[in-house]
Chains A and B, each alone.
Chain A
Amino acid sequence: SQQGEEDPQALSIQEGENATMNCSYKTSINNLQWYRQNSGRGLVHLILIRSNEREKHSGRLRVTLDTSKKSSSLLITASRAADTASYFCATVNTGRRALTFGSGTRLQVQP
């Protein structure tokens, strides 16, 4: 079974609005990562947050991590049409090295 589950499965917003995606996971983690996938392409790494961190920023991206609730959120501020893509969270579980992925959120940003 997959470790992470994203919510919502699909999100449609207008350009300029903020987009929030959530990820829940099941077991203790070493780190949690967010990836983006444009249609028909490979995944691209966005941001990594360690288990002892609570918040991290990168440009228009803000990631939070709540290890007590086993959840993370990705916020994209001032979205653009070019942000249209699928977004995945992935976890590195404690004691393991493999990354396991959730099923993703499909984001559509309308111009």
Chain B
Amino acid sequence: NAGVTQTPKFQVLKTGQSMTLQCAQDMNHEYMSWYRQDPGMGLRLIHYSVGAGITDQGEVPNGYNVSRSTTEDFPLRLLSAAPSQTSVYFCASSYVSKREKTGELFFGEGSRLTVL
């Protein structure tokens, strides 16, 4: 049982390049999300999904795309990387219930992205 797996762990990009951060979970969670964490700040929500085929924007969606074709996978695409997107990116998943709406999040170990 691997939990939430993110790849790559480290990546350096040049301005204007595109790339995809991968996230996979094996807990059959309906809810998946992407956050970015910058020094001295908490986590800011980029995009989230409550099930296959359903995505929604978070607080800072500009410059990022997501899709959810399967329950297990939720990739994050950077369309044209900018230095402002230098950050640590976390993927997280959770169960969804009528009572909790969204329960406890299980986090991956993070992907550290530097845009030059």
Contact = CB atoms under 8 A, between A and B. Distances in A.
A binds B: yes
A92 interface: yes
A48 B96 contact: no
Interface in B15-71: 31, 33, 35, 40-45, 48, 50, 56, 58-59
Interface in A39-69: 40-45, 48, 50
Chain A contact residues, majority secondary structure: strand
Contacts of A88: 42-43
Chain A interface: which size bin? 20 to 34
Contacts of B103: 48
B56 A99 contact: no
Interface residues of B, number: 31
Contacts of B35: 101
A97 B99 CA distance: 11
A31 interface: yes
Nearest to B88: A40
27 contacts: A1-B59, A2-B42, A2-B59, A30-B100, A33-B104, A41-B109, A42-B4, A42-B90, A43-B43, A43-B90, A43-B105, A44-B107, A48-B100, A88-B43, A90-B43, A92-B101, A96-B101, A97-B31, A97-B101, A98-B45, A98-B48, A98-B102, A99-B102, A100-B59, A101-B35, A101-B42, A104-B42
Highest count of chain B CB atoms <10 Å: which of A41, A42, A90, A100: A42
Interface string A24-41: 000000110101000011
